[in-house]
Chain A
Amino acid sequence: MKYLRLITKNLGRNKRRTILTMLSVSVSVFLLATMQAVIAALGSTTQLTGGESRLVVRRNTSLADMMPESYGQKILQVSGVTAVCPANWFGGIYREDKPKYMFAQFYVDAKTLFDVQFEYQISPEEKAAFQEERTAAIAGKSLADKYGWKIGDVIELKGVLWPVSPRLTLRGIYTGPRDTSFYFHREYVEEAMGRPGLVGTYRVRLDSPDSAPRVMEEIDQMFKNSTAPSKTETEAAFAAAFFSMLGNVKGLIGGVGLVVVFTITLIGANAMAMSARERFTEVAVMKALGFQPGLILTLLLSESVLIALIGGALAAIAAKVVFQFVGMGSMLAIFLQNFKITTGTMAIALGVSVLIGLVSGGIPAWNAARISIVDGLRRVA
């Protein structure tokens, strides 16, 4: 610690060079953090959420407005559509009307649910048990874990939007990228309400993400002049199409990142070498006074690591601010789900900074620490 002053004072030796070196590290680490976040987001997109092959059809006016049951068959006729499942938001109260008891509840067509939500994993037995029993329900694993539900548990919901309070038996637990929903039979609610035949949304499965724009257009055209015009939206088809176009974007981004970091390391090494060369005599004096080569090496390396670390920290903070608080993140999020600068990304950024500091400062510091005192002192004389 008593050497810290020595290190910080040396940073001020050539302020312009120190700041330029710091900023060059900042720029490269900022780029790297961005690329890392993009790669991470790409990873989570390609890790099938299913969203890229799915559309949601709803009324063009409001989510509260309904569509007739007959739309289901018509949507299924559109080429590129492989499955359709009507799904209504139930929004009942579980136990108490408190935020901690709130979760997504849908009453759906039990037969087609798994065709549309094809990413759900569930055992054939549980799936069959759910589909065969009118009062059966399934829950996502995360949700079941949250409330400690087990197969066979009875779950009672109190209707708020509808005058129906279902008493359901949990027959299955599914897993998937998003396993936080609760599903029960559309039949149950329809029957209790005297079969009004109203559907809040149709979930539509596509043969391929590429069909999305055309199918969306065709569905909305089909109902345009009816009493209940529709609005078809995509979960993430757009993002998927965008990235399938870019091809091996991950490899490209990773490669560019490496080149940038490598270049900055060279620039940093040059700055550190200049700085060390100017100080050969001083280093020789310090060694004459009894400073061991190891200590000199540590001091010089600490300098370059500190410069790089400050630069890297600035970059990490800048990335966080720019992408989160300024809202660039949400702009990018249109293309990339889950685009954010995570703590992991920040840690990688700082780790890379330290590495840049060590590598760029390493050789100059090593050379300086090993100079002969006599030669170092002769440089001026």
Chain B
Amino acid sequence: MADTLINLVRVTKHYRRDTIDIPVLDNIDLEISRGEFLALMGPSGSGKTTLLNLIAGIDKPNSGRVVIDDKDITKLSEQQLAKWRARHVGFIFQLYNLIPVLSAYENVELPLLLTSLSKSKRREHVMTALSVVGLEDRERHYPRQLSGGQEQRVAIARAIVTDPTLLVADEPTGDLDAKSAEEILDLIKRLNEEFHKTIIMVTHDPRAASHAHAIIHLEKGVLSKSGGVYEVPAAHN
């Protein structure tokens, strides 16, 4: 058995609308190895985002355990969870979600404000992250002065600036043209290969998914092996 980073055990999640229970995830078991690049596919409304949110520690299941790096994060308090996310998770969103009033530099610096790093140390980290995504010359630009692809690269720099273990990406190319999407996918792949980030990427797009080592499908709240693998092999280092 390879080095397991993420282990979901009988995870169930449902939402309640008025009196009706909407089941979203039904008794999910999932194990993901350290260094994996996993694509999560499935029809709209199948619960992909919900599953990703549970793994990233921004949502809690109704039952079951979410164990990450041997820690059951469902047992953490809100405060502990926030600290945990700041250290271990990088977020990449479909709509980039940069803060519009902050420059590229300041957006990337944002997670570092929560650390005890000095201003000059923060600068070092920010510039390193920006250079990884190839935007060190855009540090003063504001989100509205950047293209969609560039915005997503800034967002990726923000996600990696704290050097987290895990990157979660929810349809990171969903709002981009084919060329920019390809650049972003290459970048994400590099983060996995060169920087050994464990990556879980939700996507609609089979071409995007093909960049990943493995693909799992989610349908009607259940993980299926069809067309992909259920348990995925460890990345080859």
Contact = CB atoms under 8 A, between A and B. Distances in A.
Interface of A: 2-3, 5-6, 9-10, 12-13, 281-282, 285-293, 373-374, 377, 380-381
A147 to B, nearest CB: 59
Contacts of A13: 100-101
A281 B98 CA distance: 10
Interface residues of B, number: 28
B111 A373 contact: no
Nearest to B171: A381
Nearest to B87: A290
Contact of A290 (B53, B99, B101, B114): B114
A380 B95 contact: yes
A13 B144 CA distance: 13
Q: Which 9 A-B pairs have the closest CB atoms?
A: A290-B86, A373-B58, A9-B101, A285-B97, A289-B111, A374-B59, A290-B82, A13-B101, A290-B85
B59 A291 contact: no
B110 A288 contact: no
A2 B110 CA distance: 10
Given A285-B97, A288-B85, A374-B53, A9 B106 contact: yes
Contact of A2 (B59, B85, B86, B119): B119
Contacts of A288: 56, 58, 85, 91
Contacts of B91: 285, 288-289
Given A9-B106, A377-B93, A381-B95, A289 B114 contact: yes
B75 interface: no
Interface in B85-115: 85-87, 91, 93-95, 97, 99-102, 106, 110-111, 113-114
Task: Pick from A287, A290, A380, A381 the residue with the most CB of B within 10 Å.
Answer: A290
A5 B83 contact: no
B111 A290 contact: yes
Interface string B44-87: 00000100010010110000000000000000001100110111
Contacts of A291: 82, 114
